[in-house]
Amino acid sequence: MSFGLVLDEPADSDLVQEHDGIKFVVKPDLYESFQGFTIDSVKQNGFTYYSIIPGKQDTAGGCSTCSSCG
């Protein structure tokens, strides 16, 4: 499963969480569909790497974007 990340200003209805000074914004319906998200970060060699993990995991496997993946 993957999510697109974009730079944008939050709308009034968006949910906002700040992590290490960076604001993460998500639409409420997406948040509810995936039962929330966990933001994890790792600092390595002067860089910070982020992972956004949905609360509800896809147990079917594949990428869930097409019917031929499983």
Torsion of CA 3, 33, 26, 5, to 10 degrees: 0
Neighbours of 57 (CB within 10 A): 10
The amino acid that residue 52 corresponds to is I
Beta-strand relationship, 47-54 and 15-19: unpaired
The predicted pLDDT at position 47 comes to: 94
Q: What tens digit of pLDDT does each residue of 9-29 get?
A: 899 999 998 888 888 899 999
Rounded CA separation 47/35 (Å): 29
pTM for the full model? 0.62
Rounded CA separation 68/61 (Å): 11
Is residue 31's pLDDT more than 60?
Answer: yes
Is residue 7's pLDDT more than 90?
Answer: no
pLDDT confidence tier of residue 42, bands split at 50, 70 and 90: very high
